[in-house]
Amino acid sequence: SLSDRLTATFKNLRGKGRLSESDVNATVRDIRLALIDADVATPVVREFTGRVRERATGAEVSAALNPAQQVVKIVNEELVSILGGETRQLALAKRPPTVIMLAGLQGSGKTTFAGKLARLLRDQGHFPVLVAADLQRPNAVTQLQVVGDRAKVPVFAPEPGNVGGHDSATDFGEGTRSFGDPVWVAQAGVGQAKVRQYDVVIVDTAGRLAVDENLMQQAADIRAAIQPDEVLFVIDAMIGQAAIETALAFQKSVDFTGVVLSKLDGDARGGAALSVASVTGRPIMYASTGEQVKDIEVFHPDRMASRILDMGDVLTLIEQAEKAFDKQQAAEMARKLMDEEDFTFDDFLQQMAAIKKMGNLKSLLGMMPGMAGMRDQLNALDEREFDRVEAMVQSMTPYERTHPKAINGSRRSRIAGGSGVTVSEVNSLLERFTQAQKMMRQMTRGGGMPGMPGMPG
Ligand code: GDP
Ligand code: MG
């Protein structure tokens, strides 16, 4: 499956220190094959892999994540984005009833979904009603009535004497009655819902086994007649590449506001989902995941992406790793500071910058046992002082910054000249630096917290 293949791809990246260009190429190639294998449409594959490659090659190297995690993160984000990003809520009409029309090929799962959606809305406190506007197959109306029964939602159907349980309106009231015109049935059903004060009308329509002009025209006519708030295009997640052609045909002639992926409980793992949402630019709103009335899910792009990646744990880990990174970085710095050899002028400068930012912590430090001395040092660090120190450190060569002991007399005059200070100021900086190192050593020995070295003394 798609997720198996992607998992294997990511496994290859494990243990790599950095992503080389050939790593990225190999990974993108594997992802492309996995997507093609999962029946994702070619243009979608191209766009997707292009974006993943660009981001994986780009400057997005994160210190918080290892290369495999980085790639999983990028792939996941691109998946979410291609699946529509945010979860799309049903658009309810300002003045009820909200009219929802279902469209799609025969056997795609419209009638089944109609019951599921009705039940879901009923559970949310709505008063939905189903309208049987599929007059194509002889038992389509009966099927909707069975579905309505299961969902405990009334069905408006045009056939007299066909009792669909509860509140079935087996005729549309006074006068005219048609058994043949789905447009009329849909319209009458919506009218009845208004009269009887249902707040949601779900109109089930007919489908053909393949895209067909008459069918499209009929669906377009129903749409024009009932002016639905939502037209949901129901598509069988198992139909693979044909999904694209079908979706585009429906979009062209009927158009729809959202997509329902049905039979997602089957083998298909997102190939069709990826393609349809991306190619039509319409959001997937629901997933149908079984034959029972309860088998419906509001579609969340982020959850679907994790499902496709089959990496819920890894994704959680990535999130945590990124959150923990700031802490990690601080701990790393502390560890580095304990090791005198590693403590360089670059660290010194970085610490000073941090202290500058932390000006407000001065009073806090004073309250902590053993930290009062540090507060006094902080007080000595004013803005101009920091600028001068920075200028001096910047006048040092990289070698000098990492080997302060090598800064002899001639180097000191050069640094003083370069930063516009006196040699004695350079001397005093070097003294402070040495003191900071000593302080670190003491704190480390005493088991105290590695605090803020680099303070002017
Ligand atoms: P329609 O022609 O578009 O109205 O499709 P139906 O609702 O009649 O569904 C066609 C077949 O697919 C029926 O046998 C349903 O039981 C089955 N079906 C519909 N939705 C799902 C689903 O989400 N999962 C599974 N496994 N079967 C489904
Ligand atoms: Mg049907």
Is the model more confident about 316 or about 95? Answer: 95
pLDDT: which is higher, 120 or 17: 120
**304 within a domain of the structure (yes/no):** no
**Does pTM surpass 0.90?**
no
Q: Residues marked as binding for GTP?
A: 104-111, 204-208, 262-265
Res 255 pLDDT > 90: yes
Letter for the amino acid at 327? K
CB-based contact 148:118 (threshold 8 Å) = yes
The candidate with the shortest Cα–Cα distance to 390, out of 425, 361, 340, is: 425
Asked whether the CA dihedral 447, 453, 455, 457 is positive or negative, the reply is positive
- Does residue 236 carry a pLDDT above 50? yes
The CA 188 to ligand 1 mean position distance, Å, reads 26
289 lines ligand 1 (CB under 6 A): yes
DSSP state of 90: P
Give the DSSP H/E element, type plus range, for residue 100. strand 98-103
Q: Is 205 in the pocket of ligand 1 (CB under 6 A)?
A: no
Taken in order 107, 224, 147, 115, is the CA torsion positive or negative?
positive
Residues 349, 157: Cα–Cα separation, whole Å: 79
Structure-model confidence comparison of residues 79 and 2, the more confident one: 79
Are 206 and 230 in a shared domain?
yes
At 448, list the tokens: 């105290």
Q: Which structural domain, as residue segments, surrounds residue 54?
A: 2-86+312-317
What is this model's ipTM? 0.99
Strands 128-133 and 200-205: parallel
Query: Residue 423's domain is classified under what CATH number?
Result: 1.10.260.30
Residues of the binding site? 104-111, 204-208, 262-265
Same domain, 64 and 130: no
The number of distinct structural domains making up the chain is 3
d(CA 325, CA 332): 10
Ligand 1 atom at minimal distance to the Cα of residue 264: 23
The C-alpha angle with vertex 322 and arms to 453 and 75, in degrees rounded to 5, equals 145
pLDDT over 80 at 361, yes or no: no
pLDDT at 314: 61
Residue 360 has pLDDT above 60, yes or no: no
Ligand 1, atom 5, lies closest to the CA of 109
| Residue 450 in domain | no
Q: Identify which ligand lies nearest to the alpha carbon of 138.
A: 2
Question: What is the pLDDT of the chain when averaged over all its residues?
Answer: 78
**Position 311 pLDDT exceeds 90:** no
- Lowest mean per-residue pLDDT among 162-176, 191-205, 384-398: 162-176
| One domain, residues 109 and 244 | yes
Domain stop point among 272, 287, 317 = 317
Tokens of 330: 């601080």
The whole-angstrom separation of Cα 256 and Cα 251 is 6
- CATH number at 188 reads 3.40.50.300
Q: How far is the CA of 151 from the centre of ligand 1 (A)?
A: 15
Q: Which atom of ligand 1 is nearest to the CA of 289?
A: 23
Q: Of the residues 286, 317, 348, which one is the last residue of a structural domain?
A: 317
- What's at 84, amino acid-wise? G
Q: Is the pLDDT of residue 385 over 60?
A: yes
Q: What is the number of the ligand 1 atom nearest to the C-alpha of 108? A: 3
Q: Which helix (H) or strand (E) holds 131?
A: strand 128-133
